[in-house]
Amino acid sequence: MKIAVLAGDGIGPEIIAQAHKVLEVLRRDGLKLELEAAPYGGAGYDAHGDPLPESTLKLARAADAVLCGAVGGPQYDALPREKRPEQGILRIRKELQLFANLRPAKVFEELASASSLKPELVAGLDILILRELTGDIYFGEPRGRRTNARGEREGYDTMLYSESEIRRIADVGFQAAMKRGKKLTSVDKENVLETSRFWREIVKDVAKKYPQVELSHMYVDNAAMQLVRNPKQFDVIVTGNMFGDILSDEASMLTGSIGMLPSASLDANNKGLYEPAHGSAPDIAGKNLANPLATILSAAMMLRYTFNEEEAAKRIEAAVKKVLGQGYRTADIYETEMRRVGTIEMGDAVVAAMQ
């Protein structure tokens, strides 16, 4: 199991170091993990003048999975667009053909009061939003500006999904549902959009391969409403790029803490890039303040989705739950009377809980 580790910038190296400790426990207990680090983002620019240096891309291609910290920082803001750290993210996703973005929104009972919703609505919430990442109106052609017949300027984009694009993301959705609660909700706008009518038709066809999974369909406006009204009704939600962009951010806020949210982006062979949903937090970088749990939980997703090591994934997740139960809190999730700890101490606590 070869893992390319791209720590990146800001808090990236600090939080990756904690995930590293956790994976080291599993390695010592017999999992054949091989980790190799490479510069990426601003660190890539500093080392090689490129946010995704050739040597880093080569390592990422050769690896089975990529574990990333985060990239970016104010010192890189004045660089030309193609040299900026964020270009490293966009390019690696494209180069590795990562089309499926998995964003779990899980609320540990211990943190239910951090949500802006009532604790009873979100306590124990565990849903997964699956967003198609490389198609839809974000990439459809033609797009541009023009002057219409009335002489008025207008802008336009094209919403477009091919059958193969829908089939492959639907497959990931059904397979993810099989590993979880066996319920899949496909979100579209079938009442208005031709693309959505086609989407729904193909998803229904793919469903024939997965009779164990209960499939339902929901309009995106209703899904946005249901996510805040009764989010626990969902298990896995699969949707297109634009609807997924919006719904995954909405769902992440149900948890109330950005430092707790892992993510995965997968290709057609379940090779994946795993990273926390947050950025490089330059405001707290180097201060031992960052919450490493999103990165540690991203490593758990890696074990589950790329390596099929469900037991190891559960072991990490159970350890995270245990440390929260023991009252360990980094500053971002701190409440009075809890045990306030730094990044390193939180990593150590998870390692201890795994033993």
| Nearest in space to 293 (alpha carbons), one of 265, 267, 255 | 255
To ligand NAD, the closest distance from the beta carbon of 90 in angstroms equals: 10
CA Rg, the chain, in Å? Answer: 21
Using alpha carbons, list the distances in angstroms from residue 3 to 24, 58, 61, 95, 100: 12, 12, 10, 17, 19
Whether 204 is catalytic is: no
User: How far is it, in rounded angstroms, from Cα 96 to Cα 59?
Assistant: 11
- For ligand NAD (CB under 6 A), the number of binding residues is 21
| Residues of span 195-214 touching ligand NAD by CB under 6 A | none
With binding defined as CB under 6 A, does residue 71 bind ligand NAD? Answer: yes
Whether 245 is catalytic is: yes
| Residues of span 76-95 touching ligand NAD by CB under 6 A | 86, 89
What does the DSSP 8-state code read for residue 315?
H
With binding defined as CB under 6 A, does residue 280 bind ligand NAD? Answer: yes
User: How far is it, in rounded angstroms, from Cα 327 to Cα 325?
Assistant: 5
With binding defined as CB under 6 A, does residue 298 bind ligand NAD? Answer: no
With binding defined as CB under 6 A, does residue 13 bind ligand NAD? Answer: no
To ligand NAD, the closest distance from the beta carbon of 86 in angstroms equals: 5
| Residues of span 317-346 touching ligand NAD by CB under 6 A | 332
Whether 138 is catalytic is: yes
With binding defined as CB under 6 A, does residue 117 bind ligand NAD? Answer: no
Which token pair is 268? 């057609």
Our CA angle for 258, 262, 264, nearest 5°, is 140
Is residue 268 a contact partner of residue 57, using CB atoms and an 8 Å limit? no
Please identify which residue in 106, 189, 271, 278 interacts with ligand NAD, judged by CB under 6 A. 278
Cβ atoms < 10 Å from Cβ of 317: 19
By CB under 6 A, which span of 129-137, 139-147, 287-295, 303-311 interacts with ligand NAD? 287-295
| Residue ranges that bind ligand NAD, judged by CB under 6 A | 11, 70-73, 86, 89, 258-259, 275, 278-284, 290-291, 294, 332
